[in-house]
Amino acid sequence: MLLAHAGGGDAPLFDAYIWRVAQFTLMQAALSTALSILLAIPVARALARQRDFWGRVWIIRLSVVPLGLPALVAALGVIEVWGRQGVVNDLLRLGGLQNPVSVYGLAGILIAHVFFNLPLAARFLLAALDRIPAEYWLSSANLGMGGGAVFRLIEWPVIRRVLPGIAGLVFMLCVTSFTIVLTLGGGPAATTIEVAIYQALRFDFDPQRAVLLAFLQIAVTAVLLWLLSLFARPPEEGATAGRAIRRFDGRRRRLADGVVIVVFTLFTAAPLAATLAAGLAADFGRLALDPLLHRALFTSLAISFASACLSLAIALPVVLVPRLAEAGDAGVSTRLMGRALPAVGSLILLVPPVVVATGWFLVLRLFGETGRFAPAVITVINALMALPFVVRVLEPAYRTHLARTARLALSLGVTGMHRLLWIDWPALRKPFLTAFAFAMALSLGDLGAVAIFGAEGFVTLPWLLFSRMASYRTADAAGIALILGVICLALTLPSTAPERPTERPAADA
């Protein structure tokens, strides 16, 4: 699609501006990833240790909400907290500091990216820590291991194996971020390749420039994905009897873990609280009667549901076939598919959504009004955008499940639908619901593809929100943002429900 528009033109690609844009893109992504990962590790460890305090489930649910918020709304929430007239700068002035923090430029981009990606990284790390067999913690308590030994011998081996995949996902999200950079960049000095693509297509109306920048983006992400693949290591699964997890080391760390959890909650909740406060001031009575809001809500829910279903349908063979290919009786075709399919899960990281949307926009423009094709194209793009998240939720859970049940199920002769209903589904239901919630939330909050294909008669909640903000109807925009946040929070309820203990009391054994 892009190749058909790449010919001609005299404008050089690798001029000084493009080199500067490429360097800034990589620099801000590297800094954002480092901050997100370094902060996510203590947060995940604290939540893994402290398993019984009131509100833990809601803190975990809260960490999913930023994924579903449009980046523009989250950016405005960050401005409310960190901006020149925000809460943080007000506190700094009370402390005697005369030069407040500037939320525009690199600092604002880093704050917004950490706001989005710290909760995401913490969720993935927490899921990995929760898969550690309960027997490990019982043995560590019996051996009298201290905090350093527990981290070095039990937690770090698990974190080390999932860290490259999480860091790669966060890095690619920062590389392909353009709404945050467009809002908080503050000018040409803080511009990424994604923003340059959007500006070349929609403002300069230079398709050739947009296509050449898209190929530069693909080349950069391809090299980065290859480098990250060199560090990927499959996790080792430990044998377990399925005991309920009890962390005996959490008693000595309650105060320190409490501080970490409170700071994490405040950092995540503050922009959301600012959005909530502005949203509650909206006239919901008038919004509830707005037919355009009804159409946008129905369109967003239909597209997000279809995108989540499509993303899971693509992810299942990506997750299942490589594990089947490892079996000794697997055929040649199965083994070949097992090697090829894992690359599908990272395809959208190689070709970001804005690049895909740009290609389809240029092609469909030849057939008339692009708005006619917008629902189908946006559904597919959103499904591909969610695919890396879905795969990273399902694949580790399925690998762990197979390591613990495959031989026993085979020895008992439990196969087919019986295995699916009685063994596989009970263990994989929660990861499946989590992946579905991730996919729907990401689709609900998408603005990039909709912005490329935005047309009269086709409107989603993010696009309606953007339109209301552009027309200075900020109260309506805040109300729509609150609706989006509530929907995304509701999506997380089934996937974050507390697990029932499966361990039988010792007296009944």
Clarify whether residues 174 and 317 are in a common domain: no
- What is the C-alpha to C-alpha distance for residues 494 and 491, in angstroms, rounded to an integer? 7
In a domain, 427, yes or no: yes
Clarify whether residues 147 and 41 are in a common domain: yes
In a domain, 355, yes or no: yes
In a domain, 300, yes or no: yes
Q: Does 504 score more than 50 pLDDT?
A: no
244 phi and psi angles, rounded to 5 deg: -70, 140
CATH, residue 320: 1.10.3720.10
Kindly report the pTM of this predicted structure: 0.70
In a domain, 3, yes or no: no
Q: Which of 230, 248, 280 is the last residue of a domain?
A: 280
In a domain, 7, yes or no: no
Clarify whether residues 362 and 451 are in a common domain: yes
Clarify whether residues 47 and 128 are in a common domain: yes
Average pLDDT of the chain, as a whole number: 76
Clarify whether residues 57 and 173 are in a common domain: yes
Clarify whether residues 322 and 219 are in a common domain: no
Residues 6+ apart with CB under 8 A from 331: none
Q: What is the residue range of 310's domain? A: 283-509
Mean pLDDT over residues 449-475, rounded? 74
Q: Which of 222, 257, 280 is the last residue of a domain?
A: 280
Clarify whether residues 46 and 89 are in a common domain: yes
pLDDT at residue 243, as a whole number: 56
- What is the C-alpha to C-alpha distance for residues 460 and 313, in angstroms, rounded to an integer? 24
Q: What is the pLDDT of residues 41-84, one digit of tens each?
A: 999 988 888 877 788 888 887 777 776 566 777 777 888 788 77
Clarify whether residues 255 and 373 are in a common domain: no
In a domain, 4, yes or no: no
Long-range contacts of 292-299 (CB under 8 A, 24+ apart): 292/459, 292/464, 293/464, 293/480, 295/459, 296/459, 296/460, 296/461, 296/463, 296/464, 297/461, 297/483, 299/375, 299/458, 299/459, 299/460
- What is the C-alpha to C-alpha distance for residues 168 and 225, in angstroms, rounded to an integer? 7
Q: What is the pLDDT of residues 385-443, one digit of tens each?
A: 888 878 878 887 887 777 777 777 778 787 777 777 888 888 788 888 888 988 888 88
Beta bridge partners of residue 469, listed in sequence order: none
Clarify whether residues 309 and 266 are in a common domain: no
Q: Does 35 score more than 90 pLDDT?
A: yes
Secondary structure of 125-151 as H, E, C letters: HHHHHHCCCHHHHHHHHHCCCCHHHHH
pLDDT at residue 262, as a whole number: 92
Q: What is the pLDDT of residues 242-294, one digit of tens each?
A: 555 666 666 777 788 889 999 999 998 888 888 788 788 888 888 888 888 88
Domain count of the chain?
2
In a domain, 6, yes or no: no
In a domain, 226, yes or no: yes
Clarify whether residues 332 and 454 are in a common domain: yes
Residues 228 and 33 sit within 8 Å (Cβ to Cβ): no
Q: Which of 228, 251, 280 is the last residue of a domain?
A: 280
Residues 61 and 493 sit within 8 Å (Cβ to Cβ): yes
Clarify whether residues 109 and 219 are in a common domain: yes
Clarify whether residues 62 and 192 are in a common domain: yes
